[in-house]
Structure 1
């Protein structure tokens, strides 16, 4: 494992770069908290989630999360966090009391930005909706509700345990609980889904007036039930029609696409998402959580935590399963695979600021990507063209050795 690569050089498209410099400023810092339990594992899900037992080990897990955070504090001393994201799994299975103790413990350890965004993933089930008011009182100010579809046959095919009526009610209850900022997760390209089916789901979501919609295509991932027993998915032509019509519908109703699968009302993109895609830093705590931390000397280290909940809770096992310092030759791909997901890309100056490498180190790859029509010809920005967004993997290949 490379602990310090500050003296190495980078070859991109055959051109050597200067050594990595110390970072002029550290990027914004976020916190990701993984809660790995679900009522039932969905057949398409490849996240680190596990079927919950009747009684969750809330107190033990909160203790472990805070102890895990304690071990990361040395790397972020003196910094504040701009966002917290509770992901899973289904974090809303935890009680407000447990999450309150956790948030209080985090705040005692790391200062919160005055306008911190705190997001909790939740499912639409009635049991969880009843907790929304309590969550809002804790300072959680954004919900991300996993709808996926409003149509019963599609929900059944996806293995979801809520129904369409509960999905509709969840948005109303979020607003009544004081959440003026919430996301709806919606999928398309579902088994046997037609264009009309997909647009019907999207219209229903828009009617609920969330500030943010995550609208993404179902993909079959390894190590899932759907991978081993694939359902019948729409033909490519139908998927293309759904994508085009759906994007037009979202734009018509004021939802601007700012990332491959993220659409937001004006001023409402997810701060946590933006930090992630712009190569910001984040601490990751919880079973299987990943983190990325920059250091003033130029080192950028990715970390990952012990994956299985039983091992994570085992006091004789380490919370951290591994870490890797990014080398100079990995940096262009690592930075651009995030930044180019943003439809507007990022300002070019962000590359040297966040990586310690010069813009010149991207020169040959950048020229090739521009010539192929995948990258915008814009010196002050690194941004994919519309074609580049469709063929992002091909674009990123231009920045591999």
Structure 2
């Protein structure tokens, strides 16, 4: 199929024992926006990228005791929303597992203690203006105008924007144990997802089958038949995805769907192609295999050549959360055995610590990255 190109959302990475695999219309008070009246419905090698003479590798102990200016970067630390303009907003809870910015409001998700999550829409003054249920963290388009999620009660694939919402499809949520059958990983298009207006596409991953794409035309299929999981989708037609997972690692690829072909620009089993940078010229590279609470290192590679341009890693430590900031830096946490650190790394590998270290256990990072 041909993907219409609208806007971009970075897909959250999910920690898995063997490899990183990728991250419902409420009614009445459970809906994030009132429904509009429009009529449209709707991997064999296991080594990580090798460093070269141009690669920067950073250790938390090499940084200054004074955090760098975090201007332009937003994140959640515990129960505090650190906004990109330098202001902070106190939140009603802690331990969030997902966050996006939607029309200037923060949408955070928190595990419900069983299988799914609760989402809060929080205004700039910290007021919770809406709450709804979702199978997994909510996703947002790059303009910050449209969100998407899957309703855990109905299985509806939902989109919402200021003043309206529409269902783009439906999934069967039947799954064994605590498996999440389907979760939204990307939305492009909008803001108005009715086909007679702007139109949208929602990409979903599955814990029980193949990934799928739903659009405002009512079309539902997998645009990349070899994909096991989508990792990222951009408005420029770039998609990173995993196509092989075995005990010894994973394989992944980058495809440009504007070429009207599903043939990858490149494919590798040396690392996992994960989040695409806002400039479209760089890709986050994660280890093809890891086991535990996080990854020991993260690399940035050129989206055309796969050449490594930067790397962060610390011996004996690990990172568990990461995202591209709106200004094009990779934001990541890092645990050193006693404290959690927050770093920002440019695409050429320059790394700065941007917050004071926080003491804590290795199981619980205090940081939740805001995906843009």
* Structure 2 length-normalised TM: 0.29
* Structure 1 length-normalised TM: 0.28
Task: Compare the two structures and name the one with the higher helix fraction.
Answer: 1
Q: State which structure, 1 or 2, has the greater radius of gyration over its C-alpha atoms.
A: 1
Task: Compare the two structures and name the one with the higher strand fraction.
Answer: 2
